[in-house]
Amino acid sequence: MALIRKGKSFKWHRKHLLGLRELSAEEITYILDTAKGFEQISTRSVKKAPPLRGKVVVNLFFEDSTRTRTSFALAANRLSADVIEFTKKASAVSKGETLLDTARNLEAMGIDIVVIRHSAGGAPKLLSRNINACVINAGDGFCEHPTQGLLDVYTIRKIKGTLEGLKIAIVGDIAHSRVARSDMWAMTKLGAEVIFVGPPTLMPGRVSELPVSVSYSLDEVIEKVDVINMLRIQFERLGGNPFPSIREYSHYFGLTVDRMKKAKPDIMVMHPGPINRGLEMESEVADGRNSVILEQVTNGLAVRMAVLFLVNQAAAQGV
Amino acid sequence: MNSELLIKNGRVIDPANGIDKECDVLIADDKIASVGKVEKPARIVIDAAGKLVTPGLIDIHVHFREPGDEEEETIASGSAAAVAAGFTSVVCMPNTNPPIENETDVEYIHRKARKARRTHVYTMGAMTKNLDGVELAEMGFMAEAGAVGFTDDGRGVQDPAVMLRALKYAAMFDVVIAQHCQDNAFAGNGVMNSGYYSTILGLPGIDPLAEEAMLWRDIQLVKKIHPGRIRYHAQHISTAGSVELIRAAKKEALPITCEVTPHHLLLTEECCAEYDTNYKVNPPLRSDKDVEALKAAIAEGLIDALVTDHAPHLQSEKELEFLAAPFGIASLECALALFVKALIEPGILDWPALIRLMTEMPANIIGVDKGTLGVGKQADITIIDPKAEYEIDVNKFRSKSRNCPYHGWKVTGKVEKTIVGGEIRFEA
């Protein structure tokens, strides 16, 4: 496998993937290049490679997930690791077994990689400080979702060739979105211009200090962007009443067939899933020719294989 | 006299009496007998040359967790920590489990303190029953039992009508009403300051307005019943906006005082960037701008007391996700050195001004006859080596808890001896 880029002496050294904020453009590119090498495994008749043989990966999910958990499990399987599923509802208060105790117990069984999703921002970091296994963040609160960010830039790079100079709109509930944050870090580091679009009540605090511009008008933004990433309205995270009604939200921020008429013909339409059809996006758009939503899912597998491979390699080298 | 103690040649700093000079302090029994040149021999002589001799330090905001959470701290362990840190008097907050809300509870604290025999331990009582902010607690009975003020610390009294009632009712007993200013509607489920860092860390923020809105409201309530026998004290203020409100209130000569903690002078929200829960505290660590405003307020004389808000927690509780871990920093044992670092080293205060904020002024807020070296006063004295450098080591704390973000800090200013009621209770 052509995993090492020729002519570059870059060496991956992280045994954890906690977020994209702390990664350099070079590191992100390295993951994407590594993922490219893994993409073809899924097209073989025998969909398996041996790099993680004998390793144990735990999917430690404290929040609901279908896509990400399955994708990580499949990625680990394809690299010949053994996968354990561990699902538990996180408690917001200090009751019952603590996160660290759970992780330490799992570690005592001899696991190598923990893939964690948790409702508390920073939970993966807490874990990485306290256990020896590799930690991969599969989404923490509204902090980061690094593999989603990676698969998003991977998908864009694959179709557009580069992110350099692209204009990308991220639309919806930015305040509560870990995808928006990971996307922002990855996309801007790779040279794209990111515009957050949504009502002011769904913008994060101090958004002016982030490396993005902000618009409250999807109609103005849609004409100029090369990529549009429609976030899911996360009813479970919305506090209070950030917009008056779903009807009004869809009117201003829904990606409709009508709105798409104003877009560039080759605009890429993305969504991290699961889609609320008819709310943030009309079905015709979700399933339309500009949509890359299912390609994102496919690419997620290669990206997660790359991440599992790299952290394991770094751990093996005793970093 | 059978028990005389003479402290010789120290730099005696007694702000209440305007004293800052090299001289001696003679203690007879448990009282200050004289301050000046003392030639007569004494049973015990302490050479304090090169040291500061000050009134015993007073911390009017500590959590000793007893009753209810004795695994975190007890009155014995907390007061042992206090005396080693130069404090001869502390004021416990009533948010124990159950809360301090009747005279029996107050007497319980006093009894435990007598048994520990380390420092004077006072307590505030709950302002409202069960700290629920709904019905007034029995302030009268508690005041008679010796409670030195009332607060629902840990939370603010949300209902303005209840707060107004508490302020009015307290006037019967000439006690201070202290408030943890935090409007819960503004604060929401926040766990750190609302700002750039809360955004990138994906943590819910507590807006500075949560503090300022309640402080503003309380000032209006005080105005409404002023003049009257009323004393309002804003606990641990943390924002530039609160400083503005305090400045305006003091300009109007309202009976309002306030306090500041070391962490709001030394640490900022940026400290939370690694999700280290030892930096999770309420009110939260704020921005550089707020820290500068608090320091400027101290220089300007707007702040009436320096306190620790010593809030011990178990390591196992602090080892949780940032969202789930409890609020609080345990800093009692290194408090003096922290204030030296925050205020003396940058030249904001000199020693007499610092000592005043840790003795006379807090004593006045709670209305106790302490914080001075006046002749005839109870002999609570702290002897400080202002030049001694040391490294903060949480493992050496007498406190039961280790949730202290200053571990490993190199600091200056060490307590040499602590004398409580004429008795040497701590020697370094």
Assess whether A43 and A154 both reside in one domain.
no
Range of the domain at B20: 4-52+379-392+408-427
pLDDT recorded at residue B3? 66
Assess whether B160 and B249 both reside in one domain.
yes
**What span, in angstroms and rounded, lies between the C-alpha atoms of B60 and B54?**
17
Please give the radius of gyration of chain B, using alpha carbons only, rounded to the nearest integer: 21
Counted across chains A and B, CB pairs separated by less than 8 A come out at: 75
Q: Could you tell me if residue B234 is inside a domain? A: yes
For B158-215, the pLDDT digits (tens) are: 999 999 999 999 999 999 999 999 999 999 999 999 999 999 999 999 999 999 999 9
pLDDT recorded at residue A45? 87
Assess whether A254 and A280 both reside in one domain.
yes
- Look at residue A3 and tell me whether its pLDDT is greater than 60: no
Mutation target to probe the B interface, by most B beta carbons within 10 A, among A18, A119, A128, A143 is A143
**What span, in angstroms and rounded, lies between the C-alpha atoms of B209 and B51?**
43
Residues of A near B (Cβ–Cβ under 8 Å) read 21, 91-94, 98-100, 118-123, 125-126, 130, 140-144, 178, 181, 204-207, 209-210, 239
Would you state the structure tokens that stand for residue A77, as one six-digit string?
């399987």
- Amino acid letter, residue A127: L
pLDDT recorded at residue A319? 55
- For residue B322, list chain A residues with Cβ-Cβ distance below 8 A: 120-122, 126
CA atoms in the 13 A half-sphere facing the CB of B415: 30
pLDDT recorded at residue A8? 59
Mean pLDDT of the B232-249 span: 98
Q: Could you tell me if residue A3 is inside a domain? A: no
Q: Could you tell me if residue A9 is inside a domain? A: no
**What span, in angstroms and rounded, lies between the C-alpha atoms of B211 and B357?**
23
Q: Could you tell me if residue A12 is inside a domain? A: no
Assess whether A92 and A155 both reside in one domain.
no
Q: Could you tell me if residue B200 is inside a domain? A: no
Q: Could you tell me if residue A260 is inside a domain? A: yes
Asked if A143 and B198 come within 8 Å (Cβ–Cβ), the reply is no
Assess whether B162 and B106 both reside in one domain.
yes
Report the residue from B199, B319, B323 with minimal CB separation from A100: B319
Q: Is the CB of residue B275 less than 8 Å away from at least one CB of chain A?
A: yes
**Percent of chain B surpassing pLDDT 90:** 97
Q: Could you tell me if residue B384 is inside a domain? A: yes
Q: Could you tell me if residue A70 is inside a domain? A: yes
Assess whether B80 and B107 both reside in one domain.
yes
Q: For chain A, what is the domain count?
A: 2
Please give the radius of gyration of chain A, using alpha carbons only, rounded to the nearest integer: 19
Mean pLDDT of the B237-254 span: 98
Range of the domain at A170: 146-292
Mean pLDDT of the B19-45 span: 94
For A9-28, the pLDDT digits (tens) are: 788 999 999 999 999 999 99
Assess whether B37 and B77 both reside in one domain.
no
Q: Could you tell me if residue A106 is inside a domain? A: yes
Using 50, 70 and 90 to split pLDDT, how confident is the model at A235? confident
Asked if A130 and B200 come within 8 Å (Cβ–Cβ), the reply is no
**What span, in angstroms and rounded, lies between the C-alpha atoms of B378 and B147?**
19
Q: Could you tell me if residue B371 is inside a domain? A: no
Assess whether B15 and B161 both reside in one domain.
no
**What span, in angstroms and rounded, lies between the C-alpha atoms of A107 and A87?**
16
Assess whether A111 and A208 both reside in one domain.
no
Using 50, 70 and 90 to split pLDDT, how confident is the model at A242? confident
Q: For chain B, what is the domain count?
A: 2
pLDDT recorded at residue B147? 98
Assess whether B155 and B257 both reside in one domain.
yes
pLDDT recorded at residue A169? 98
Mean pLDDT of the B138-151 span: 98
Assess whether A85 and A197 both reside in one domain.
no
Using 50, 70 and 90 to split pLDDT, how confident is the model at B40? confident
- C-alpha angle B414-B417-B420 in degrees, rounded to nearest 5: 130
Instruction: Specify the higher pLDDT residue, B260 or A3.
Output: B260
Q: Could you tell me if residue B321 is inside a domain? A: no
**What span, in angstroms and rounded, lies between the C-alpha atoms of B314 and B210?**
28
Closest chain B residue by Cα to residue A126: B321
- Look at residue B1 and tell me whether its pLDDT is greater than 60: no
Provide the annotated active-site residues of B: 309
Instruction: Break chain B down into helix, strand, coil percent, rounded to 5.
Output: 35, 25, 40
**What span, in angstroms and rounded, lies between the C-alpha atoms of A30 and B94?**
56
CA B151 to chain centre: 14
Mean pLDDT of the A77-85 span: 96
Cis amide prior to B326 (ω within 30 degrees): no
**What span, in angstroms and rounded, lies between the C-alpha atoms of A186 and A153?**
7
Nearest to A21 by CA among B197, B298, B318, B96: B197
Assess whether B210 and B246 both reside in one domain.
yes
Asked if B320 and A121 come within 8 Å (Cβ–Cβ), the reply is no
Residue A196 DSSP SS3: strand
Assess whether A39 and A49 both reside in one domain.
yes
For residues A126-155, one letter each, b for 16 or more C-beta atoms within 10 angstroms of the residue's C-beta and e for the rest, the string is bbbeebebbbbbbbbbbbbbbbbbbbbbbb
Assess whether A70 and A191 both reside in one domain.
no
- Look at residue A185 and tell me whether its pLDDT is greater than 90: yes
Q: Could you tell me if residue A17 is inside a domain? A: no
Assess whether A154 and A169 both reside in one domain.
yes
Does residue B322 contact residue B272 with C-beta atoms inside 8 Å?
yes
CATH of the domain at B25: 2.30.40.10
For B104-115, the pLDDT digits (tens) are: 999 999 999 999
For B72-97, the pLDDT digits (tens) are: 999 999 999 999 999 999 999 999 99
Assess whether B14 and B77 both reside in one domain.
no
**What span, in angstroms and rounded, lies between the C-alpha atoms of B194 and B172?**
39
Q: Torsion angle, CA of A258/A222/A272/A242, rounded to 10 degrees? A: -90
Q: Could you tell me if residue B402 is inside a domain? A: no
Mean pLDDT of the B291-318 span: 97
Assess whether A80 and A135 both reside in one domain.
yes
Nearest to A285 by CA among A247, A238, A201, A229: A229
pLDDT recorded at residue A2? 43
Report the residue from B189, B195, B324 with minimal CB separation from A205: B195
Asked if A94 and B319 come within 8 Å (Cβ–Cβ), the reply is no
Closest chain A residue by Cα to residue B194: A205
- Look at residue B22 and tell me whether its pLDDT is greater than 80: yes
What is the ipTM metric for this complex?
0.87
Average pLDDT, chain A: 92
Asked if A93 and B324 come within 8 Å (Cβ–Cβ), the reply is yes
Instruction: Specify the higher pLDDT residue, A95 or B62.
Output: B62
Assess whether A266 and A155 both reside in one domain.
yes
For A124-177, the pLDDT digits (tens) are: 999 999 999 999 999 999 999 999 999 999 999 999 999 999 999 999 999 999
Assess whether A219 and A157 both reside in one domain.
yes
- Amino acid letter, residue A117: R
- Look at residue A7 and tell me whether its pLDDT is greater than 80: no
CATH of the domain at B295: 3.20.20.140
Assess whether A185 and A138 both reside in one domain.
no
CATH of the domain at A309: 3.40.50.1370
- Look at residue A52 and tell me whether its pLDDT is greater than 50: yes
Q: Could you tell me if residue A4 is inside a domain? A: no
For A270-311, the pLDDT digits (tens) are: 999 999 998 899 999 999 999 999 999 999 999 999 999 999
Asked if B320 and A98 come within 8 Å (Cβ–Cβ), the reply is yes
Mean pLDDT of the A49-60 span: 95
Q: Could you tell me if residue B266 is inside a domain? A: yes
